[in-house]
Amino acid sequence: MASMNTMPSLQEMQRAYLGKDASYDGIFFLGVRTTGIFCRPSCPARTPLPVNVHYFSSAREALFAGYRPCKRCRPLDTDGRPPEWVGRALALLKDSEDKIKDSELRRSGVDPSRVRRYFQKHYGMTFQAYCRARRMGEALNQLRHGASLDDIALGNGYESHSGFRDAFTRTFGRSPGTSRDLDRIVVSWLESPLGPIVTAANPRGICLLEFTDRRMLETQFNTLKKLFSCAIVPGENEYLIQLRQELNAYFAGELRQFSVPLVYPGSPFQVSVWNELLRIPYGETCSYEQLARRIGSASGQRAVGHANGTNRIAILIPCHRVVNKDGKLGGYGGGLWRKQYLLDLETGARKLL
């Protein structure tokens, strides 16, 4: 969960929502004590008095605090695109082969401190770290397609071979000369009705789908590094593009079965649990006890629950379909409110707009 120090100052947030500044949408949310609803900073509804406003760094925090989403600005609804000003910052990355300075961001009308907060919140890294990772990812692609080390080093802003080799080796764990066939995991993010989601894929399929506020997210990334022995860098590939399309259709109630390839190595027991999860039909649930019996481990309910909790590919490997024996929701790493949302979506109990 994001903490208060990842958000703008109180004065800045107050100025933003009083001015209905849409560039702060996604950076923070405001709960209105007098109505019990929470909104985007740009909400067109009547502006509340500052004394009645409570600030949150995520929709999750607002929901857990008991606030309901506003029906006018619909803070849980999103089109998956970052704010326009983030696009301006990323455009600098395309046009520059060197470190992007704060002065360049300001000339583009972008506040450097806001960029830092946004990239820490949505990508888990600084803007400069993101830029370096993107350049290294592009360097690896060029290397795979036969480009010379001279062209790659100079084309990615390095003045010498040694500087490029050092940076490449720190990122990928191998020198560029031995890396033409090196795998990598590319990471992207997307918005959903349940908040921001981090997705990752390698050349064989999707290997991670997690909500950005999940406490285990860092652990999951460390696990990926160990399992695949390769670098994790920002980027896109065909599987992430397919995933984005399928998730949009799923949340619209138009898709019941995902077809994007999944890659989920683990212990034999974990894999047996995850395989069985994939067999639970859309719109149905299964108890931990039933799941344990199905994999031939009737006394292993606790172990089954733990394997459920370590599932790295939420929604697609549907651990949300496992409930307690009495029908109650039980645990869910993404939060019980998300589990209820997904089950309501799949059973038709949630009205689609």
Asked whether residue 335 falls in the same domain as residue 237, the answer is: yes
Asked whether residue 217 falls in the same domain as residue 338, the answer is: yes
Q: Can you give the pLDDT at residue 213? A: 65
User: In whole angstroms, how far apart are CA 60 and each of 7, 29, 75, 318, 344?
Assistant: 15, 10, 11, 20, 18
In a domain, 76, yes or no: no
As a whole number, mean pLDDT of residues 318-346 equals 87
Amino acid at 141: N
Asked whether residue 168 falls in the same domain as residue 192, the answer is: no
In a domain, 79, yes or no: no
Is the predicted pLDDT of residue 112 greater than 80, yes or no? yes
Q: What CATH number has the domain bearing residue 43?
A: 3.40.10.10
Asked whether residue 173 falls in the same domain as residue 34, the answer is: no
**Residue 24: pLDDT band by 50, 70, 90 thresholds?**
confident
pLDDT, the chain, mean:
78
Asked whether residue 258 falls in the same domain as residue 339, the answer is: yes
- Its sign, for the CA torsion 66, 71, 73, 74, is positive
Of 55-59, 81-85, 343-347, highest mean pLDDT: 343-347
In a domain, 78, yes or no: no
CA neighbor of 309 nearest in space, from 197, 229, 219, 243: 219
Please tell me which residue in 39, 43, 73, 131 is annotated as part of the active site: 39
Asked whether residue 195 falls in the same domain as residue 324, the answer is: yes
Q: Please indicate whether residue 319 is annotated as part of the active site.
A: yes
In a domain, 77, yes or no: no
Q: Please indicate whether residue 207 is annotated as part of the active site.
A: no
168-198: pLDDT as tens digits: 555 555 555 544 445 678 877 777 888 778 8
Asked whether residue 153 falls in the same domain as residue 235, the answer is: no
Name the domain count of the chain.
3
Amino acid at 271: V
Q: Can you give the pLDDT at residue 65? A: 59
Q: Residue 62 is part of which domain span?
A: 4-69
The kind and range of the H/E element at 211 are strand 205-211
Q: Which of 159, 178, 197 delimits the end of a domain?
A: 178
pTM of the full predicted structure?
A: 0.55
252-284: pLDDT as tens digits: 999 999 999 999 999 999 999 999 999 999 999
Asked whether residue 190 falls in the same domain as residue 311, the answer is: yes
Q: Which of 40, 69, 98 delimits the end of a domain?
A: 69
Asked whether residue 194 falls in the same domain as residue 316, the answer is: yes
Please tell me which residue in 131, 230, 286, 319 is annotated as part of the active site: 319
Asked whether residue 296 falls in the same domain as residue 201, the answer is: yes
Joined tokens for residue 39 = 């909104």
Asked whether residue 250 falls in the same domain as residue 336, the answer is: yes
Residues in the chain: 353
Q: Which of 140, 156, 178 delimits the end of a domain?
A: 178
Q: What CATH number has the domain bearing residue 208?
A: 1.10.10.10
